[in-house]
Amino acid sequence: MMKLLIISLLLLGMPQAPSPKPQAPRVIRVSAERFAFTPSEIVVEQGTTIEFHLTSDDTDHGFRIIGTDVNAEIPKRRRGETVVKYVADTAGRFVIECSRPCGAGHTAMRATLVVK
């Protein structure tokens, strides 16, 4: 259901993509491990299409960019990767949080996306 919703968001969102010429997405690899994301700070230019490649070194984690529709599950260690595309069309600092309980330090498992 959520997947359908997100794909339809994609279809709706396509024509509104801000860059006039198609741009190769910027691949950013993020690894999750209790209780941190590495890297914990990601800086991109406004308008960049980001392709997040998300993997875990232990259990499953969540990858939620607060204030956006992005909320993905990162599969457990050696169970593949999650790929999330996101067009950073709004400038600002965004908090990324782990949205799946992963243990004793879960609440502080955060990273920052800076769109300049």
Residues that bind another protein (CB under 8 A): 2-3, 5-7, 9-10, 13-14, 17, 31, 34, 36, 38-41, 49, 57-59, 62, 64, 66, 68-73, 75-87, 89-90, 93, 95, 97, 99-108, 110-112
Interaction of residue 74 with Cu ion, rule CB under 5 A: no
Cα→Cα distances 42→3, 92, 115, Å: 25, 12, 8
Name the one range near Cu ion by CB under 5 A: 17-25, 57-65, 67-75, 88-96.
57-65
54, 70, 74, 102: residue in contact with Cu ion (rule CB under 5 A): 102
The number of residues in the chain equals: 116
What SS3 class is residue 4? Answer: helix
Distance from C-alpha of 11 to C-alpha of 6, rounded to nearest angstrom: 9
